[in-house]
Amino acid sequence: MPQPPPEFSGRETIVDTACPLDCPDSCSLAITVRNGKILKIDGSRRNATTGGYICAKVRRFDQRVYGDGRLQYPAVRKGPRGSGRFSRITWDEAIELVTSKMIDIRDRWGAEAIVPYSYGGSNGLLSQDTTDAQLFRRFGASRLARTVCAAPTGAANMALYGKMPSVSYEDYPHAKLIVMWGANPSASGIHLIPYLREAQRRGGQLVVVDPRTTPLARQANLHLALKPGTDVVVALAVHRYLFETGCADEAFLAAHTRGASRLRERAQSWTLARAAEIAGIDQVALERFAELYAASSPALVRCGWGL
């Protein structure tokens, strides 16, 4: 007689897997299961970078899977919006209802009247802009430029570099200066923190540019709490400083970039004093940042997605 798989054998079994969420850390997980039910979610060391440490959100993911409030079947609203009254229907009825409405909208106003709204999370391979995109493109539906979170960063990176460049965690400790600009890894990139600590332990300087006093800002060598929306003038002032003091690597700029002279012109009016005043920060602190950046090599700037 065929034996049931270990997860359904009645014994506790540890299943090695990986976190499916839209998070770059890709933690390896060790999930204790009995008869197909999750008993415990823990990190495993198979992914050396995440090293057995996982975020609190996924550690308690079983509460989400088995929570009373989880939607487990399709239901249609009965009564006015907000009344919270729904009645259960079958999957066939739900699919029929949705497709007939989509076809009706397409026939009356055109398929572009439908926005297929979705973003990251636990969509997985089937619906992370893959088969779902195929469906909606065939249908002729309108397109979504994803979210205000990642779309501007993606567009800026593509325009500047032609791709989304990144620095591997293992390289951070080699930096003499790390600038965390609008990023809060204590909340949204927890596995970077040990690498930042290691960089500081080796004598590297950490600068945090963030209006908020984040946990990382408290540990930084320098925190620039600039006013929201003033990042560009602060960056231009640092550029101006580098050009004016002869610290810009002109040979590199000539060999690998286009438009450096226009950047120089653009930065020309942004003295450290003017930028500091607009950004609401101490001019001496901004000067220190510019000096640190000019003097440190290798230096690393990590921008958050919202910038």
Write out the residues near ligand SF4 by the rule CB under 6 A. 19, 21, 23, 25-27, 50, 54-55, 57-58, 190
Closer by beta carbon to ligand SF4, 192 or else 226: 192
Strand pairing category for 299-303 and 177-181? parallel
Torsion (CA) 290, 292, 298, 303 in degrees, nearest 10 = -50
Closer by beta carbon to ligand SF4, 6 or else 52: 52
Complete DSSP assignment for 96-115: HHHHHHHHHHHHHH-GGG--
Closer by beta carbon to ligand SF4, 17 or else 271: 17
Smallest gap from Cβ 173 to ligand SF4, in A, equals: 20
Query: Which DSSP letter does residue 36 get?
Result: T
How many angstroms separate the Cα of 227 from the Cα of each of 44, 160, 297? 40, 25, 28
Closer by beta carbon to ligand SF4, 191 or else 240: 191
Smallest gap from Cβ 8 to ligand SF4, in A, equals: 25
Q: CA–CA separation, 293 vs 256, rounded Å?
A: 20
Smallest gap from Cβ 44 to ligand SF4, in A, equals: 11
Smallest gap from Cβ 28 to ligand SF4, in A, equals: 9
Smallest gap from Cβ 168 to ligand SF4, in A, equals: 16
Closer by beta carbon to ligand SF4, 21 or else 294: 21
Smallest gap from Cβ 57 to ligand SF4, in A, equals: 6
Query: Which DSSP letter does residue 191 get?
Result: G
Closer by beta carbon to ligand SF4, 121 or else 298: 121
Nearest-CA neighbor of 300 among 199, 220, 229?
199
Q: CA–CA separation, 79 vs 151, rounded Å?
A: 38
Token reading at 233:
């003038």
